[in-house]
């Protein structure tokens, strides 16, 4: 069996607890040295990991997965995200510091397996924790390869093995056994409602990243060409597998014509023939009006070819007009489609746009974007939607730190409220009081 991979949940948790006890004795500088080695090693393996992921899951784009993996390795927060707070006065000093939970059980999706594992691992280790990873069964092979690689790098730097581990059998039952284990101190869960509800029943601290249905709003004042390019960048990246990527578009009637022209110019296939739309819905939705998983993470060209539609090889997304009803009824709007098939809804006014956006987003409070030149509309939408990530006049990719030197995260804890997670998210805030001392003013 590979290093860091155990036959059962109890063995994995026990090994991680022993490793964490040793790791907790290291200084922050030593943690930082371990993370630096990990970042370098994982970035170097990006192409291998991306290729393995696409081969195993059948989803996404290798170049985009390479980008995600490198971003996760190089731009996830480390020990610099552990601030110390101190308050002094006539009667003493109060100190607040961030300490590890201990052993963390982390459940991951099949859509972004490597980037999520890498991002969470770096932040969890920076916070002083050990982690037992619970990969999705559809990405079990590459996930276990990655966990073993991480554990080898850590052991090579500090001599501690089993700080990052997983279980050989990647099933839901094994995952729940890990999350419910009495020696697991914190749960980090990225998944659907059934898994999150089970995790919430474990009776311990939960950081939960749940379902989303991100909506992009475009009004008549927007820079249409920029809005089209930004939205298509988010939709097409890794074939729209990201939980933050634009899954729906709402546009005001006065801006719709120019915006649709801009979408077409920038690489969208605008599907305006009723017969094509009907066939598309039958292809991408099941009889229960939910996503056809066989097309999850497939490219726009692949989906068009499945419909018998020949088009340019550089088509980025399929944009589908849907009917405006009150309440909204079209299943394309109300289901998160993890593929570059995105409905577009034309509405008469900005107020109608905002009302529709809230209905589409379904109070997941995950991600939304808006394209407008009116500041008040930006503020109004941000307040009304209350999403963890809100991007104004930019791509959803900007919301998680892409296209810049900003820090990134691949766990957006919309369910439990932490939002964009970082090292400090995975730590305990502790208060220490010292009486009659350390005030030198």
Please determine, looking at this structure, whether the domain spanning 5-210+415-435 carries the CATH number 3.40.605.10: yes
pLDDT of residue 214: 97
Percent share of the chain, pLDDT over 90: 88
- Hey, what's the torsion of the CAs at 374, 375, 377, 378, to 10 degrees? 120
Which tokens belong to 229? 């390019």
**pTM, two decimal places:** 0.93
Residue range 133-141: average pLDDT?
95
For residue 133, the Cα-to-chain-centroid distance in whole angstroms is 16
pLDDT of residue 332: 96
Which tokens belong to 280? 């598309």
State the chain's mean pLDDT as an integer.
95
Cβ contact 59:106 at 8 Å: no
CA angle, residues 427, 123, 364, in degrees to nearest 5: 80
How far is 143 from 147, CA to CA, in rounded Å? 6
Domain definitions of the chain by residue range: 5-210+415-435, 215-400
How far is 204 from 182, CA to CA, in rounded Å? 9
pLDDT of residue 160: 97
Cβ contact 208:189 at 8 Å: yes
Q: Is pLDDT above 90 for 313? A: no
CATH class (in words) of the domain with range 215-400: alpha beta
Q: 413 pairs with which residues across the strands? A: 419
How far is 304 from 383, CA to CA, in rounded Å? 38
pLDDT of residue 192: 83
Cβ contact 132:163 at 8 Å: no
Cβ contact 228:259 at 8 Å: yes
For residue 132, the Cα-to-chain-centroid distance in whole angstroms is 19
pLDDT of residue 198: 86
Confidence of residue 91 (pLDDT cuts 50, 70, 90): confident
Q: What is the DSSP string of 5-21?
A: EESSHHHHHHHHHHHHH
Question: Rounded to whole angstroms, what are the CA distances from 248 to 12, 35, 60, 89, 235?
Answer: 41, 38, 19, 53, 9
* Tens digits of residue pLDDT in 385-410: 999 999 999 999 999 988 777 899 99
What end-to-end distance do the CA atoms of the chain give, in Å? 60
């Amino acid at each position: 069996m590979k290093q860091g991979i155990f036959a059962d949940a109890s063995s994995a948790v026990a090994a991680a607890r022993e490793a964490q006890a040793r790791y907790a004795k290291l200084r922050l500088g030593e943690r930082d040295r371990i993370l630096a080695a990990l970042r370098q090693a994982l970035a170097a393996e990006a192409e291998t990991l991306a290729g393995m992921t696409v081969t195993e899951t059948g989803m996404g784009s290798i170049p985009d997965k390479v980008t995600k993996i490198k971003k996760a390795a190089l731009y996830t927060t480390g020990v610099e995200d552990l601030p110390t707070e101190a308050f002094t006065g006539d009667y003493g000093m109060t100190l607040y510091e961030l300490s590890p939970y201990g052993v963390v059980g982390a459940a991951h999706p099949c859509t972004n397996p490597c980037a999520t594992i890498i991002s969470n691992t770096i932040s969890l280790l920076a916070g002083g924790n050990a982690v037992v990873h619970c990969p999705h069964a559809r990405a079990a092979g590459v996930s276990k390869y990655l966990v073993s690689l991480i554990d080898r790098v850590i052991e090579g730097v500090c001599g501690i093995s089993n700080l990052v581990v997983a279980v050989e059998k990647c099933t839901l039952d094994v995952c729940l056994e890990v999350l419910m284990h009495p020696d697991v101190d914190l749960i980090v869960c990225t998944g659907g409602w059934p898994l999150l509800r089970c995790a919430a029943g474990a009776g311990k601290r939960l950081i939960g990243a749940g379902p989303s249905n991100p909506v992009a709003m475009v009004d008549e004042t927007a820079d249409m060409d920029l809005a089209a390019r930004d939205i298509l960048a988010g939709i097409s990246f890794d074939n729209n597998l990201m939980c933050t990527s634009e899954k729906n578009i709402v546009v005001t009637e006065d801006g719709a014509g120019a915006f649709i022209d801009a979408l077409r110019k920038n690489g969208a296939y605008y599907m305006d023939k009723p017969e094509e739309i009907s066939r598309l819905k039958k292809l991408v939705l099941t009889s229960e009006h939910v996503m056809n998983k066989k097309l999850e993470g497939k490219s726009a060209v692949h989906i068009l070819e499945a419909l018998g539609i020949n088009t340019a090889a550089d088509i980025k997304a399929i944009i589908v007009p849907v009917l405006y009803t009150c309440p909204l009824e079209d299943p394309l709007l109300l289901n998160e489609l993890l593929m570059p098939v995105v409905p577009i809804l034309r509405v008469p006014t900005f107020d109608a746009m905002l009302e529709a956006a809230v209905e589409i987003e379904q109070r997941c409070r995950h991600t939304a974007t808006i394209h407008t030149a009116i500041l008040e509309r930006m503020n109004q939408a941000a307040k009304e939607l209350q999403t963890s990530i809100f991007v104004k006049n930019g791509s959803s990719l900007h919301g998680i730190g892409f296209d810049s030197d900003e820090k990134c995260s691949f766990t957006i804890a919309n369910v439990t409220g932490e939002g964009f997670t970082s090292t400090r998210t995975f730590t305990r805030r502790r208060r220490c009081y010292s009486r009659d001392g350390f005030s030198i003013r």
